[in-house]
Amino acid sequence: MSDRGLAWLLLSPALLVLATLTVYPALWVLWLAFQYRIPVFGISRWAGLDHFAFLAEGTRFWNAAWVTGVFTVTSVALESALGLAIAVALRGQRGGRRTALALLLLAWALPSVVTAKMFEWLYHPAGGLVNFLLGDRAINWLGDPALALPSLILADVWRATPFVALLCYARLLTIPPDLYEAAEVDGAAGLQAFARITWPLVRPILLVTMLFRTLDAIRAFDIMFVLTGGGPAGSTESLTVYAYRALFQTLQIGLGSAIGVVVFALVMVVAAVYLRLIGRPERTA
């Protein structure tokens, strides 16, 4: 068999699976978004742009878009700052690196449902550690519409910061120590050394990391669905949670798909913007 033939033979199972279970659904969801589709009642009709028109007029959609926006921007910003700080702190670590990384990565590796349940308990008004440490307060972190979103963001920051920290840390390790020694000779230390050496070198990788984190934050579902369920009163209902409720709680597959398509589009736009910021990714050929 020719190499070319063999190549396709080896590729085809994977491509077949991806075509059936990824590409086909991705195209199908576009079609569904233009349908009234309620499987339990056998409803399947063309809806045209009705779902999108309905979303554009509805406060629920714009509320969800706002929640997704605030959640994404705030958590990515916090994760980046905190992650970079942890990476810088870790860089000087000599002993116990493995332990340090294990402690750090644990938060990232746990199922987000576990994280959500953990924080639900931490935030519990009467049994939670947070109120206990604040001196026996009775703050209802997840029940107060003003506090629920910040509380949710904090849980996500806890979960995702290690990812940022790890990538920045890996980059920092590749900076030769003599660069810092040279800077020290020039009288630059601490913040100055950071601004002159660390920042320029770590900036590109931080941007890439932020890209990943932004995409993940837009797509995030588990943590808000389990921690707050989108409540109270919709104050933490992101686009993904709204889509899920439309899909599986009110069984409107068409409307839910339309919201899914919006998330899809958002992800693509954000990816394009970041890629422009970062510069064309290296084509590996």
Partner 1 sequence: MAPRPARAAAAGLFLPLLLALSAGGCGERPGAGAPITLVFKHAKILGPADPMPGLLRRFEADHPGVRVQSEALTWSSDEQHQFYVINLEGGGPPFDVMMLDVIWVPEFARAGWILDLTSSVPPAERDAHFPTAIAPAMQDGRLWALPWFMNVGLLYYRADLLAKYGFGAPPETYEELTAQVRRIRAGERDPSLDGYLWQGKQYEGGMVNVLEALWANGARLLDEAGRPFPEAERARESLAFLRGLIESGVSPAWVTAADEELTRRPFGDGRAIFLRSWPYALDLFELPDSRVRGKVGVAPIPRLRHGPVGAASTGGAHLAVSARTRHRDLAVALARFLTSETAQRAMTEGAALRPSRPALYRDAGLIARDPSLPALHGLMLRGHPRPITPYYLMLSTTLQPEFSAVLVGRKSPARAMRDATAQVEHLLRSVTP
Partner 2 sequence: MRAGRRRDAVVLLALSLYAAPFFWQALTSVRPDAELLPLTRLLPSRLTWAHYDVVLRQSLMPRALINSLGIALLSTLLAIGLGALAAYALARLPVRGRGVILLAMVAATAFPQIATVSPLYLLMRALGLRDTWLALILANGSFALPLVIWLLTGFIREIPRALEEAAAVDGADRLAILRWVVLPLVAPGMASAALLAFLFSWNEFLFAYSFTATEASRTVPVALALFPGVFEVPWGDIAAASLLASLPPILIVVGFQRYLVRGLLAGALRE
Is residue 249 involved in binding partner 1 (CB under 8 A)? Answer: yes
Cα three-residue angle 14-280-168, rounded to 5 degrees: 85
Q: Does 249 bind partner 2 (CB under 8 A)?
A: no
Q: What is the dihedral of CA 160, 166, 172, 177, to 10 degrees?
A: 130
Among 72, 158, 198, 236, binds partner 2 (CB under 8 A): 158
What are the φ/ψ torsions at residue 246 (nearest 5 degrees)?
-65, -45
Residue nearer to partner 2 on the CB measure, 124 or 196: 124
CA angle 129, 227, 110 (to 5 degrees): 80
* Range 35-64, binding partner 2 (CB under 8 A): 39
State yes or no: residue 190 binds partner 2 (CB under 8 A): no
Closer to partner 1 by Cβ: residue 69 or 231: 231
Q: Which of residues 30-69 bind partner 1 (CB under 8 A)?
A: 36, 38-41, 43, 45, 47, 50-51, 54, 57-60
Q: For the chain, give the number of residues.
A: 285
Phi/psi for 38 (5° steps) reads -130, 95
Query: Which positions from 213 through 232 interact with partner 2, judged by CB under 8 A?
Result: 215, 218-219, 221-222, 225-226
For position 231 contacting partner 1 by CB under 8 A, the verdict is: yes
Q: Locate 252 and state its tokens.
A: 């409107």
Torsions phi, psi for 174 (to 5 deg)? -85, -5
Residues between 95 and 134 that touch partner 2 (CB under 8 A): 95-96, 98-107, 109-119, 121-122, 124, 126-129, 132
Is 199 a binding residue for partner 2 by CB under 8 A? The answer is no
DSSP conformational letter for 40: G
Stretch that binds partner 1, among 92-100, 207-215, 249-257, 273-281 (CB under 8 A): 249-257
Q: How far is the CB of 143 from partner 1 (least distance, A)?
A: 5
H or E stretch covering 9: helix 3-18
Give φ, ψ of 126 to 5 degrees. -105, -30
Q: Give the CA-trace dihedral at 58, 63, 65, 69, to 10 degrees.
A: 160
Cα–Cα nearest to 241, from 256, 261, 258 = 256
CB of 231 to partner 1, least distance (A): 5
Identify which range of 16-24, 143-151, 181-189, 195-203 contacts partner 2 by CB under 8 A.
16-24
Contact of residue 48 among partner 1, partner 2, none (CB under 5-8 Å per partner type): none
State which of positions 254-273 bind partner 1 (CB under 8 A): 254-255
